[in-house]
Chains A and B, each alone.
Chain A
Amino acid sequence: MKVTVNGTVLDLASGTSAIDAVFAAGFDVPYFCSQEYMSPIGACRMCLAKVGAPRKDRDGSWIVDDETGEPKIFHFPTMMATCTTAIMEGMVIDTLSQDVKDAQNGMVEFTLINHPLDCPVCDKGGACELQDRAYEYGTGRSRFAFDKRHQEKHHPLSDLITLDRERCIHCKRCVRYFEEVPGDEVLDFIDRGGHTYIGTLEDGLPSNFTGNITDICPVGALLDATSRFRGRNWEYDHTFTTSLDDASGSAIVVDARTGRIERVKSGLNPEVNKSWIDDGIRFGHEYVDHADRVRRPLLRKGERFETVSWDEAAAFIAERLRGLSGKDVGIAVRADATLEEGVAARALAEHLGTGQVDHAPRHGRTLVPVHGATLVDVATADAIIVLGDVSEELPALDLRIKDALKGVTPPPLLPHGVPIADLRLKERMPRASERLTVVAAYRVDLMRHAGHTVTVPVGGEATWLEAMTAVAHGERVDEAALAMSRADAEALIASWRDADKAVMILGGFVLASAAATAAADALGKAVGARQVRVPPMANGLGLEVTGVLPSHARYDYRHMLAGGARALLLSGLDPAQDPALAERLRGCELLVVHDMFMTATAEIAHVVLPAASGFEKDGTTLSLEGRYLPVRAAPVDGGEARDLTGVVKSLGEAFGQRLEGRSVRSARRVLRKQLGFEPSELDRLGLLQPLPKVRASVTVTTDEEATGEALRVPTMVRPEYLAYNPHLRAALGDPALRLHPDDAAERDLRTGDGVTVSVDGVPRRLRVVVSDAAPRGVPLVPATPDAPVGRAVVDLDALEVDRRALEVA
C-alpha cells in the first residue's frame, strides 16, 4: 500500500500500523505503551499524528481534489494514535506540523504531572524512554503546581522485582506482558482512574518469566532487584551475547561495571527468544561474582592446597602425565562448553593418544532428529506434542509453544526491525489449547495451557508412545496404555495427521530412554511430525556434532569414572558428590578439576584450575534447533580464570607443543574447516545450518537405563549455583523435594522442612515442598548436570529431617 509520511512515499504491506509506517519512513514519533511483540492498545496517546486518506465515491473512483487533480485527502477530525491505526491506500501521515507537536507536548505534560522526576536517583536514568521523550517532545516547563500523587516507592513485587508506583506511567506493558506472553495473569491494575496502580495478590509473582517486565517498563517503575542502585546505565558495558544457561540460544545483554556483572537483560533474536528470557537466565548470574570463586590455580600439597601460577600447575600436570600411558587419560567437559573448548578437549586427547574424551551430561541417543523443527516451526505449529517438562527444561520453548496457540505467525521485519505495533496482536487473544498435548509422569506447568494432557506412569513414556503408534497404524492396543479411550486417541492422532505442521518435543525423560526415543521416532513418522530434541545443557548438540565424543562407546564418561581412566581432567563436572565415585576418584593418579568453585571433586583433586564462567569467554554454541551463535566475553573480573582453550594452551606449553585449540582463534581454524563457515563472523542472530549426521555408534552409551520410582526433574534455575545466587535463592527457595501430600503426611513432613535424602546413593539436602504436582509415591528432585533428568531411586524412608534453617550443601 502506498503511504506518505511527511512527504516521503513508501510502499508497505496492508495491515501495517501507521506508527510503523512513520518509523519505516525514517521518522520518529514518541510512544510509551506500544511494545514489540505485544498488542497495541493506544493508551498513552503519545503517538498522535495527523492522518488523512483519500475516499472513494459511490461509483468506486477516488474523489479528486479539483485544484490538484489528485485524490482528495480527507483528514480524520481528531489526531490519531498511530499505533492503533492501520494504514490505508493513499494514507497521508503528518508528524511534523505544529499542531501535532503541540498535541505531543500536551501529552508529555500530562504524563509528567504525577511523575516524581527523581531521575538522579533512578536506575533507569539515562535509559529511560520517558526521560528521552520529555527532552525531545516536551516543552521543558511544568505548569502543574500541585502535590504529585504519592504512592509506594520501594514495593517488592517479589524478591526479584521492585516496583516504584510513583514512577509508573500506566502504559500497561507489564500487565499485558503477563497475559499475552507467558499467559500467567499475576499482575493487574488495581483501582481505577487517577488512583490506578499495578499490583498483585500472588506471592512472589508465580511465573518463570517475571523479569522481562523490567526490560519493557519504559520508566524506572519496575526494576531488577538484583541490580538496584548498582550503577547508572551509561556506566555499564553492554555485551551482546548468547546465554549458556540452556540450549535455547537466547540472546542476552550482559551489563558489567568495574569487573562485575550488574545485570543480565534480554537480547533480541526474533527467531529464537524474541525479546524474552526466563528468570533463571536473567537472575541466575550472581554466582559469577561470588567471593567463593576459585580465582587462581591450586595445587595439592598433602592435605592442603597451595596457590600456584598456571605455569606451575601445568608443569605439575605434564610431569604426572609423563608417567602414564596416554590411553589411560580421560577428558570430560560439561555440556555447556563452547565449540572452541570442545576443539581444545579433542586436541588434547589426540595429543595424548586417548579415545576417552566425552561431554556430559548427555543421553545415550543422538540429539539430531530425523526431521528437525526450528523454534519458528514450533511457534507456527498447529499441533504440538510435548513429552516432558519443557517449561523448566528449556523455558524459551514454553513461550514459543504459547505463540503457536495464539496462531499468529512471526511478524515480517520492517526497515526499523520488529514492528512496534503489530495490529494482529490483541489483548486477551484466545489460545487454541486443543493444539497442545502434554505428556509427563507428573503435573507440569504447561498442562494448564494444554487441551490434552496425559499423565503416564514413571518411565511410561515408551509404552504410551508405542500404544499411540499402534493406534496410528490401526493395530489393537490395550486402552489402559493409552490413558484415554481409543476413540479419543484416534481423534488426537487424526488431528496431528491433519495438521499442516505438527511438532513433537522430546524432553529429557524420553531421551533418557532408548525405547521411548525409538517409540517417539515411530509415532512421529506415523503422524508426520517434526521433532525437537531438548539437549540436557546449552551446547550438548554442538559438542556432539563436532565430535567431542569417545572413540568407542566403552570409553565414555561413565566408564572413565568407573575405572577406565587413571588420570582425569574434568571441566565443570562434579562426580564426587557420589561417595562411591569419590572413593574411586581418590585412587586416580591424577585428578585435574577445571571449575569455578571448590566442588566435592575439586576438594579431592590434585590440581584445581580456575574456570571462566559462560560470561567470561568468547566462543560459539549450537542451539537445539541447529543455530550457531556467538558467545562473547563481558568485561568481568574472573581473576586468572580461563576457559578450556586456556587450559590447553598452558598444558601445550608444558608439553612443548602448539596444540590446536590453544586459543579461541586456533580452535576456530579447526571449526571453520569442519563447519564450513567462519565462527568469528557470526552475528547476534546466529546461523541456522542443517545438522550433520553423527555416527550412532559413538553416541550410544552402554549404561543400562535407570530404574527407580522417583524422578529427577528439570528446573529453570540451576541448582548447582543456587547457593551462590542469593536473590534467586531468596525468591525461589532452596532446591525442592516435591512430595505428594499423602507421602508427606505419612512422614509428617511439611513444606519448608529441610531434609537430607539419598538420590541414587548421593546424599542431597533439599527443602520439602508438598505439592499435588507430584504423583503419589513419586518424589520429584531437581536434576543437576551430574545427575540429569530421568528416573531416580530416592529412599524416603532413609530421609533425615533437619528442621533448622537449611544451609545448602
Chain B
Amino acid sequence: MSDVLDAPKPITSRFDPRFETTLYAHVGAAGSHTLAYYQAHGGYEAARKALGMEPKAVVDEVKASGLRGRGGAGFPTGVKWSFMPPVDGRQRFIVCNADESEPGSFKDRYLLEDDPHQLIEGMLIAGWAIQATKGVIYVRGEYYHALERTQAAIEEARAAGILGTGVLGSGFDFDLILHRGAGAYICGEETALMNSFEGLRANPRLKPPFPAQAGVYGLPTTINNVESFCAAVHVMRRGAAWHAAMGTDDSKGMKLYQVSGPVARPGVYELPMGATFRELIFDLAGGPTESAKALIPGGSSTPLLPWSEATLDLPMDYGTMAKHGSMLGTGGVIVIPEAKCIVDAFYNVVRFYAHESCGKCTPCREGVATWLPKMYQKLLAGQGTREDLVVMEDMVKNMRGTAFCPLADACAMPVQASFKHFRHEYEHLVDTGTSMYPRRREWAE
C-alpha cells in the first residue's frame, strides 16, 4: 500500500515540471533536418546504444516502455516487434507508414520535414530489434517537401556510415528505400500500403497472414507509424521507465496531438498521454475562436464527442476514449463550431471516405462510396424525409463490421455518432428543408 503511495505520480500534464518535449523538441529549429544539427543534439546515440544490446533486449525495452503504435490503432509496439518469426535467412523488412492522410492528422508531416533523422534513427533501432536489414519509408506523394528532406537525410546518413553496410561501426547492415505514394488514403492501411509499394493496386490484403509472417514481397515485415519510430528513439535514449512514467494505465509516454478547426493556435502539440482536451485546446491552442458544439478526438474516423465541460476534462488516452464511445486514433482533434451545419460537416467526412474507398468490398464500394453520399446530398438539397434518416441509419449499421477493412467502419462510426448526438439537426433539415446552421463559412480576407 505504502509503495503505491510513495510511487511518483505519473506525468499527465505538459505543465508537470518533470515533462520535457522530446519528439517535437527540434521541429522548426534552424537546420533541424540536417545530420549536423541532429548529431549536435544527441542524435544516433540511442541507435548506438541499441546496437550494443541483444535485439531481444531492445524489443523488451520497448515492450516495457508501454509504447503503443501512433498510427491510429494503438497496438503495443514492442509486442508487434516480438511477432517476427525467428531469423531464417530470408530478407526481413521494417516499414514506416508515412502515408498520413486521415483528416485532422498532420503530425508526421512535420516530423519528416523537420526531423527526418529522428525517424531514420528510430527505424534503425527497430531494424536491429527485429533483425531487418532493409527498411521502407512510404510517404504520401503530396508531401513533396517532406520527401525531399527525408531523401536528403537518407543520403547524408549513408555518407556518414549511418546507413549501409556495418552501420555506425557495428556489424549490422541497414539501408532504406524511400517510396512515394500517389494520392490514395487507403495506402495508409498497412496491407494496402504493401500492395502499393509492390506496384499493385492498393487494395488491402487478407489477414492472416499478418505482415510479420508475409508482408512486403511475402517476407517477414514489421510496420509502424512515423511517430512510433520516433518515440522508440527516446525510449532507447532515456529508458523504458522514463517513458512509462508518463501517461495513464493503458497509455504511456508522450504523444503528438493535433488541433484544427476554429481555435486560436491550431497545430501540433506534444503532451504526455492522459493530458486533457482542456489542456490541449485551451492552455496550448488558445481556446476556440467561436462557440463550439463538438470535438472529434482523433482524426475524422473517430466518433465525435459533444462539447461540454465534462468532455474537456477527459484525459486523452486510449482507454478513456474507448470508454466514451470513441477512439484516440491519431490524436488529431477537430473542433466543430456551433455555427456549422452538422449534416454538412458529416457529408464532408463521408465524401472523404467515399473518395478514398478502394472499391474492393461491397459495403464500402456501394455503401460508403455510392449510396451514403447520395443520401447526404439529398438531405442537403432539402429533399430528405424522416424515412431517409431511418434508411441511412440502417445502411450505416449494415456497413459496421461487415467490410473487408476498417475504412468502412471509419466512415460509419462517425456518422453514427453524429446521428446519436445531433439527430435534431438532421431532423430539422428534413422537416424544414433548410439547415439549422449555415453550411458555408467565412473565408479570411
Q: List residues 313-367 of chain B with CB under 8 A from any CB of chain A.
A: 354-363, 365-367
Interface contact A111-B359, CB-CB below 8 Å: no
CB contact between B401 and one of A43, A79, A149 (< 8 Å): that residue:
A79
**Complex: A480 Cα to B51 Cα, angstroms:** 54
Interface size class of A (residues with CB under 8 A): 35 or more
Interface residues as binary, B359-383 with A (CB distance below 8 Å gives 1, 0 otherwise): 1111101110111001000100000
Task: State whether the Cβ of B170 lies closer than 8 Å to any Cβ in chain A.
Answer: no
Report how far A694 CA is from B356 CA in the complex, Å: 67
Q: Give B375's nearest chain A residue, CB to CB.
A: A146
Determine the chain A residues whose CB is within 8 A of the CB of B362 once the complex forms.
Answer: 43-46, 107, 110-111, 169-170
Known contacts A77-B401, A103-B398, A192 near B359 by CB under 8 Å: yes
CA distance A330 to B374 in the complex (A): 77
Contact of A170 among B365, B394, B397, B403 (CB under 8 A): B365
In the complex, identify which listed stretch (A60-68, A193-201, A256-264) lies at the interface while the others stay far away. A193-201
Contact with B along A165-208 (1 / 0, CB 8 A): 00001101000000000000000110111111000000000000
In the complex, whether B41 has a CB less than 8 A from a CB of chain A is: no
Q: A110-B363, A194-B357, A430-B218 are in contact. Are A149 and B404 (CB under 8 A)?
A: no
Chain B residues, CB < 8 A from A113: 366, 370-371
Complex contacts, A194 vs chain B, CB 8 Å: 354, 357, 359, 365-366, 369-370
> A45 to nearest B CB, angstroms?
5
Q: Judge if B64 is at the interface, Cβ distance under 8 Å.
A: no
| Chain B residues within 8 Å of A107, by CB | 362-363, 398, 402
Interface presence of B391 (CB below 8 A): yes
Judged by a CB distance under 8 angstroms, whether A78 is at the interface is yes
A residues 96-148 in Cβ contact with B at 8 Å: 102-103, 106-107, 109-111, 113-114, 143-144, 146
Residue pair A196, B365 in contact (C-beta under 8 Å)? yes
Given contacts A192-B358, A193-B365, A430-B218, contact A84 B206 (CB under 8 A): yes
A43 & B369 in contact (Cβ 8 Å cutoff): no
Docked complex Cα distance between A45 and B359 (Å) = 12
For residue B145, CB closer than 8 A to chain A, the reply is no
User: Given A110-B371, A195-B359 in contact, is the A43-B366 Cβ separation under 8 Å?
Assistant: no
Q: How far is the CA of A113 from the CA of B394 in the complex (A)?
A: 15
Which residues on the B side are within 8 Å of A106 (C-beta)? 363, 394-395, 397-398, 402
A38, chain B: closest CB distance, angstroms = 13
State whether the Cβ of A48 lies closer than 8 Å to any Cβ in chain B: yes
In the bound complex, residues from chain A placing their C-beta under 8 Å from that of B356 are: 193
Q: Measured between C-beta atoms, what is the minimum distance from B311 to chain A in Å? A: 26
Q: Would B370 and A78 count as touching, CB distance under 8 A? A: no
Q: Is B184 an interface residue (CB 8 A)?
A: yes
| Chain A residues with CB below 8 A from B404, complex form | 42-43, 45, 81
Does B439 sit at the interface, judged by CB under 8 A? no
Q: How many Å lie between the Cα of A48 and that of B398 in the bound state?
A: 11
Looking at A48, A194, A427, the one whose CB has the most chain B CB atoms below 10 A away is A194
Q: Are A149 and B398 in contact (CB under 8 A)?
A: no
* CB-based contact A45/B357 at 8 Å: no
> Would you call B201 an interface residue if the criterion is a C-beta within 8 Å of the partner chain's C-beta atoms?
yes
> How far does the alpha carbon of A189 sit from the alpha carbon of B203 in the complex, in Å?
11
> What are 25 A-B interface contacts by the 8 Å CB criterion?
A41-B360, A42-B206, A42-B361, A42-B404, A43-B362, A45-B404, A48-B402, A78-B402, A102-B398, A106-B363, A106-B398, A109-B398, A110-B367, A113-B366, A144-B371, A170-B359, A170-B360, A189-B201, A189-B359, A193-B356, A193-B359, A194-B359, A194-B365, A196-B365, A430-B218
Residues of A within 8 A of B (CB): 40-46, 48, 77-79, 81, 84, 102-103, 106-107, 109-111, 113-114, 143-144, 146, 149, 169-170, 172, 188-189, 191-196, 426-428, 430
Binding site for A on B (CB under 8 A): 184, 200-201, 205-206, 218, 354-363, 365-367, 369-371, 374, 378, 391, 394-395, 397-398, 400-404
Besides the known contacts A45-B402, A79-B402, A169-B362, 13 further A-B residue pairs in the complex with CB atoms under 8 A apart: A41-B360, A43-B404, A45-B404, A102-B398, A111-B362, A170-B360, A191-B359, A193-B357, A193-B369, A194-B357, A194-B366, A196-B365, A428-B200
